[in-house]
Amino acid sequence: MTGKTAFETRYGFRRNEVLLANWRENPFNRWSFQNLGELVPTAPVAAAPGGVETPVQDISGLLGDKVAIAGAPETVADFLARSNTDALTVMKGGKVIGDWFAPHMDFGARHIIFSISKSLTAIVAGILEGEGVFDPEAPVTHYIPEAAGSAYADASVRHVLDMSVSLDFEEAYLDPESAFARYRRATLWNPGGGTESLREFILTLQRLAEPHGQTFRYRSPNSDLLGILLERASGQRFTDLMRDKLWLPLGAVSEASIGVDMEGTARTAGGISVTPRDLARVGEMMRQGGTANGRRIVPEAWVRHTTVTGGNSEAWQRGAMLPLFPKGRYRNKWYQTGLPGGAYCGIGIHGQWLYVDPRSEVVIAKMSSQPVPVDDPLDIEIVAFFEALNRMI
């Protein structure tokens, strides 16, 4: 009988137990969320060479502090564990003031951010809009003529950006027989993929009877389509766009990566992996109105429209995510919380968050390996946790 390997001791299972069929399940996701490229095809997004990350900023002094999130007070450490947190980076006033990592994640490791990928993709869209390359009010068919036979035939790019396409599709994460499972196969995220590309799948989707623009409907294929729209508008691959327009100007220290399908199409709806520090840098750039390192990256007007003034509150009120942010709105793949501090955020399944509070000048990046894709009660508690952190630091 042999002893446990170092891998098994750290993660609680053997590497050969992690499969394409189970990589998003607990406990395997504690490892797979940091190692997407070992399971599905990915493409790199380079950072500037020679970047050096500043040392870990210890927040152990906060871990014992009590927060009242779900009634009875609990410590910060207890909540991080209860919410399956893998990494937490907190910035205030433009400086990193704290990092925390679970025992199974190292400082400097990449972690998949799932649907925060949508928020990063929209930043690239905002940059191209500012350059006059991309028109958010154009019909989808202006860039993708072959979308004429799909739900997008009479949709605008704005509908795609704001998740208000009247799309006959459900985010049925756990149903293996659903159209969502077919979607996952097209992304090569589930067994059985490779017979239908992501683009081909998206262009088979049909619309509901309701007009576009009336209801906020969270439908991930919209955001993969956004990546294709950006490629068509610019004539460049998305990985190159993200590198040249966002990652290098941002001053990202570490290489990012993004999942790709059988045709090399980037999974812009949910396939990006980055380090916690670099994700926090994205949030700080947004907090600074679109600038980083003294350089303008995205137009200030776009940032303000995305995080403050834009969004259709009526469409949000009719949507399914109203309980999370009762006074919220959604614009350009970012959530406006409607909270007093004007916080806004990007959110990904399994507990990925990029939370920006302009009033307190706080940016929080939280990466997690929650057992289920969506946990609505826990999401509400996580927002309360962020608000508590704002008051503590």
pLDDT, one tens digit for every residue, the chain (393 residues) = 468 999 999 999 999 999 999 999 999 999 999 999 999 999 999 999 988 999 999 998 899 999 988 778 999 999 999 999 999 999 999 999 999 999 999 999 999 999 999 999 999 999 999 999 999 999 999 999 999 999 999 999 999 999 999 999 998 888 888 899 999 999 999 999 999 999 999 999 999 999 999 999 999 999 999 999 999 999 999 999 999 999 999 999 999 999 999 999 999 999 999 999 999 999 999 999 999 999 999 999 999 999 999 999 999 999 999 999 999 999 999 999 999 999 999 999 999 999 999 999 999 999 999 999 999 999 999 999 999 999 988
Over the stretch 339-377, which tens digit does the pLDDT of each residue have?
A: 999 999 999 999 999 999 999 999 999 999 999 999 999
DSSP structure class, residue 247: I
- The answer to the question of residue 41 being in a domain is yes
Domain span holding position 39: 17-132+235-392
Domain CATH for 318: 3.40.710.10
Average pLDDT taken over every residue of the chain: 96
- The answer to the question of residue 72 being in a domain is yes
pLDDT at 72: 81
115 is catalytic: yes
CA–CA dist 36, 42 (Å, integer): 8
Cα separations (Å) of 61 from 57, 225, 299, 367, 392? 11, 44, 38, 20, 11
Give the HSE-up count for residue 84: Cα atoms under 13 Å, Cβ half-sphere.
23
CA–CA dist 63, 145 (Å, integer): 54
- The answer to the question of residue 218 being in a domain is no
Catalytic residue among 32, 60, 83, 115: 115
- The answer to the question of residue 180 being in a domain is no
- The answer to the question of residue 248 being in a domain is yes
If one counts every other C-beta atom within 10 angstroms of the C-beta of residue 139, the result is: 19
- The answer to the question of residue 191 being in a domain is no
pLDDT at 332: 98
Over the stretch 29-79, which tens digit does the pLDDT of each residue have?
A: 999 999 999 999 999 999 999 889 999 999 988 999 999 887 789 999 999
Q: Give how many domains the chain has, as a whole number.
A: 1
DSSP structure class, residue 190: S
- The answer to the question of residue 168 being in a domain is no
CA–CA dist 337, 341 (Å, integer): 9
Residues in the chain: 393
| End-to-end Cα spacing for the chain | 50
pLDDT at 2: 66
pLDDT at 234: 98
Cα separations (Å) of 263 from 42, 193, 194, 259? 12, 12, 9, 11
- The answer to the question of residue 86 being in a domain is yes
